[in-house]
């Protein structure tokens, strides 16, 4: 049976299941304030991460998957990991294993959200379901579970499947290595990894992610005074801690262009990537030039293909947080004693995260202006990822399935975000094929206000996933 015949067997019931049991689960998941541990130091006592992982486990159990074993794995002091192990169907003749990945932890609920809506209350608007975590990455367990359930209900053969749902991805997957180590013996036979935490430029086709940037986060503290003093007395005499911070940041970022200064943050861009960016810029109609909610009159620099490379293969810095600065309503005429900033650097796929981190920290702390007290606390860096070539027959299947479910051939693009799991799995399973996909688009606004998922796109992705699970081991030659 080819992939299109498989799709014909299962397509109708997948949509019905997603709109009923799938959306019910997502509505409940949105309500859980499962903020990742990097942003909620009291996550253990708050219990929201535990609630989210239990909700996912209950959802899988409700599907009554044949040959399925669901386990919540725990390691003292770390966030839990949900593992669903589904035996190969009785008529399956191979020894292939497919690993499906997602996560249930969430970014903080930045705002304000449209219409003063609550980020943790589900809200529908046509095809869109709004809520924190819904597209990053609450739908993954729904897509995996419903795809497998429909394969089994249709009597279609499938290989052994393992589903991993972690709870620290938004914190850089800091807890995942220990869980992976404990699972190493169970993952040896994995032939294909399907990561459902990515996407592409739009929801019009099945997108394949070909690369991801790495991520480095750090806190920079600049201290000048023992305490704040009258700005009239000290202004012009005592250097401002904010001005010192600005000068330090100039060492790593050219403020006129936004380009990173340090050579350790760059790598050569493969020629095939440059060509793919040129083609995507044309075929996707300059996606990064039209998709962000810019204020009237704001213009993006550069041209379409260069923007794609800037997003996926060049380093960048974002100033994401600041402390020791009072709100405007409470700001008196005081020269502040210190300024503390949180920075997030994105680094190209083939740049070593630790080398880049060391270079940034050294540059920010050496010989500070005016002898200011400067300290930098860097989190564990997450290196990027570059896709290994996939089997040609698997690529053919992706095209067929995308045409049948979305109406257009599959697409491929680099992404500017980070999924630490993929670099980790690439080292652990060097022979496995890794497919990173999903329904996340820049317009979905994960991490920001008004995060949403396209219900129709999620249904199409679930159909595509079911077809891949049934056809890839037979047709793609993965072994």
Same domain, 225 and 205: no
| In-domain check, residue 414 | yes
pLDDT at 49: 98
Q: State the residue for tokens 């040129």.
A: 278
Rounded Cα gap, residues 173 and 419, in angstroms: 8
Same domain flag for 252 and 389: no
Distance, in Å, from the CA atom of 80 to the CA atom of 182, rounded to the nearest integer, reads 13
DSSP 8-state secondary structure symbol assigned to residue 266? -
Nearest Cα to 26, choosing from 98, 100, 102? 102
Tell me the backbone φ, ψ of residue 306, rounded to 5 degrees.
Answer: -70, -35
Q: Is residue 283 in some structural domain?
A: no
What does residue 91 show for φ and ψ, rounded to 5 degrees?
-95, 5
Check whether 308 has a pLDDT greater than 80.
yes
Region 109-137: what's the mean pLDDT?
A: 95
188 and 92 share a domain? Answer: yes
Written as one string, the DSSP assignment of 194-220 is EE-S-B-S-SSS-EEEEEE-EEEEEEE
Segments in 154-263 forming alpha helices (H): 176-187, 231-234, 241-250
Q: What is the pTM of this model?
A: 0.91
For residues 91 and 25, which has the higher predicted lDDT (pLDDT)?
25
| Unique residue bearing structure tokens 């709870």 | 167
Q: What is the mean pLDDT of residues 392-418?
A: 92
CA 64/CA 234 separation, integer angstroms: 70
Q: Let me know the angle formed at the C-alpha of 307 by 417 and 416, rounded to the nearest 5 degrees.
A: 5
Q: Is the pLDDT of residue 474 over 60?
A: no
452 contacts 366 by C-beta, under 8 angstroms:
no
Cα separation, 381 vs 428, whole angstroms: 18
Is the preceding omega at residue 112 within 30 degrees of 0, hence cis? yes
What digits encode the pLDDT tens for the residues 344-356?
999 999 999 999 9
| 367 & 393 share domain | no
Is there a single domain that holds both residue 38 and residue 184? yes
> What phi and psi values does residue 218 have, to the nearest 5 degrees?
-155, 155
Considering only CA atoms, which of 414, 441, 440, 436 is closest in space to residue 425?
436
CB 21: neighbour CB atoms within 10 A? 17
**Is residue 93 in some structural domain?**
yes
Residues 451 and 444 sit within 8 Å (Cβ to Cβ): yes
Segment 261-299, tens digit of pLDDT: 999 999 999 999 999 999 999 999 999 998 888 999 999
Q: Looking at residue 67, what is its pLDDT?
A: 97
Write the pLDDT tens digit of every residue in 347-383. Answer: 999 999 999 999 999 999 999 999 999 999 999 999 9
Q: Compute the chain's Rg from CA coordinates.
A: 24
In a domain, 275, yes or no: no
What is the per-residue pLDDT for 472?
67
* Domain final residue pick, 353, 378, 403: 378
> What's the token pair of residue 296?
């009237």
Look up tokens 């993929």; give the residue.
Answer: 422
Asked whether 30 and 113 are in contact (CB, 8 A), the reply is no
Report the SS3 class of residue 121: coil
The Cβ-side half-sphere exposure at 389, using a 13 Å CA radius, reads 4
Instruction: Give domain status of residue 436, yes or no.
Output: yes
Report the share of the chain in percent with pLDDT over 90.
Answer: 85
Q: Is the pLDDT of residue 326 over 80?
A: yes
* pLDDT above 80 for 476: no
Whether the predicted pLDDT of 441 surpasses 50 = yes
- Domain shared by 30 and 112, yes or no: yes
Tokens of 9: 């067997």
The answer, yes or no, to whether residue 114 has pLDDT greater than 70, is: yes
Let me know the angle formed at the C-alpha of 275 by 270 and 277, rounded to the nearest 5 degrees.
95
Question: Of 339, 355, 378, which residue sits at a domain end?
Answer: 378
CB of 104 closer than 8 Å to CB of 31: no
Whether residue 408 is found in the same domain as residue 322? no
The per-type count for the chain, helices as H runs and strands as E runs, is 15, 18
CB-hemisphere CA count at 13 Å for 263? 0
- CA nearest to 161, candidates 46, 81, 69, 259: 69
- Are both 204 and 220 inside the same structural domain? no
If asked whether residues 203 and 320 sit together in one domain, one would say no
pLDDT tens digit sequence for 17-65: 999 999 999 999 999 999 999 999 999 999 999 999 999 999 999 999 9
Domain range for 13: 3-212+384-475
The CATH code of the domain that includes 416 is: 3.40.630.10
Q: How high is the pLDDT of residue 475?
A: 42
> What is the spatial distance between Cα 188 and Cα 418, in angstroms, rounded to a whole number?
24
Going by C-alpha positions, the residue among 151, 136, 152 that lies closest to residue 102 is 136
CA 422, CA 381: separation in Å to the nearest integer? 14
Neighbouring residues of 116: CB distance < 8 A, sequence distance ≥ 6: none
Shared domain check, 64 and 120: yes
Mean pLDDT of 163-188: 93
Q: Are residues 261 and 226 in the same domain?
A: yes
Within a domain: 290: no
Q: What CATH number is associated with residue 221?
A: 3.30.70.360
Compute CA 195 distance to the chain's CA centroid, rounded to the nearest angstrom.
Answer: 10
Count structural domains, the chain: 2
Whether 431 has a pLDDT exceeding 60, the answer reads yes
Residue 298 lies in a domain: no
Largest CA distance in the chain: 83
Rounded CA separation 434/100 (Å): 10
The pLDDT-based confidence of 121 (bands split at 50, 70, 90) is very high
Q: Does residue 272 lie within any of the structural domains?
A: no
Residue 444 and residue 411 share a domain: yes
């Amino acid at each position: 049976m080819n992939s299109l015949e498989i799709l014909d067997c299962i397509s109708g019931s997948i949509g019905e299941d997603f709109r009923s049991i799938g959306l019910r689960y997502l509505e409940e998941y949105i309500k859980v304030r499962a903020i990742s541990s990097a942003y909620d130091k009291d996550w253990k006592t708050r219990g929201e991460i535990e609630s989210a992982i239990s909700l996912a486990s209950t959802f899988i159990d409700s599907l009554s998957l044949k040959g399925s074993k669901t386990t919540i794995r725990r390691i003292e002091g770390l966030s839990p990991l949900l593992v669903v192990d589904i035996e190969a169907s009785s008529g399956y003749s191979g020894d292939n294993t497919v690993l499906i990945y997602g996560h249930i932890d969430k970014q903080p609920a930045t705002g304000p959200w449209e219409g003063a809506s609550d980020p943790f209350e589900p809200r529908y608007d046509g095809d869109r379901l709004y809520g924190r975590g819904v597209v990053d990455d609450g739908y993954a367990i729904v897509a995996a579970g419903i795809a497998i359930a429909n394969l089994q209900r249709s009597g279609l053969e499938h290989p052994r499947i393992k589903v991993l749902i972690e709870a620290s991805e938004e914190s850089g997957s800091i807890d995942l290595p220990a869980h992976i180590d404990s699972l190493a013996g169970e993952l040896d036979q994995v032939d294909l990894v399907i990561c459902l935490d990515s996407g592409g430029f739009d929801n019009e086709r099945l997108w394949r992610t070909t690369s991801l940037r790495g991520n480095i986060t750090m806190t920079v503290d600049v201290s000048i005074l023992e305490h704040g003093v009258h700005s009239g007395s000290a202004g012009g005499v005592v250097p401002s801690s904010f001005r010192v911070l600005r000068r330090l940041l100039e060492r790593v970022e050219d403020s006129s262009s936004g380009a990173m200064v340090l050579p350790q943050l760059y790598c050569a861009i493969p020629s095939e990537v440059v060509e793919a960016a040129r083609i995507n810029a044309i075929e996707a109609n300059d996606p990064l030039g039209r998709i962000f909610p810019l204020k009237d009159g704001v213009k993006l620099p550069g041209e379409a293909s260069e923007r794609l490379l800037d997003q996926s293969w060049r380093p960048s810095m974002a100033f994401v947080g600041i402390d020791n600065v009072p709100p405007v309503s409470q700001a008196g005429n005081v020269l502040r004693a210190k300024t503390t900033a949180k920075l997030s650097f994105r680094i190209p796929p083939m740049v070593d995260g630790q080398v880049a981190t060391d270079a940034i920290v050294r540059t920010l702390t050496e010989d500070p202006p005016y002898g200011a007290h400067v300290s930098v606390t860097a989190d564990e860096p997450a290196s990027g990822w570059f896709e290994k070539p996939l089997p040609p027959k698997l690529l053919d299947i992706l095209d067929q399935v995308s045409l049948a479910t979305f109406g257009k051939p599959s697409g491929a693009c680099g992404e500017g975000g980070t999924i630490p799991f993929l670099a980790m799995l690439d080292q652990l399973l060097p022979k496995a094929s890794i497919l990173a996909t999903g329904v996340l688009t820049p317009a979905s606004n994960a991490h920001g206000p008004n995060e949403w998922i396209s219900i129709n796109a999620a249904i199409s992705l679930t159909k595509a996933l079911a077809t891949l699970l049934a056809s890839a081991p037979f047709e793609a030659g993965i072994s």
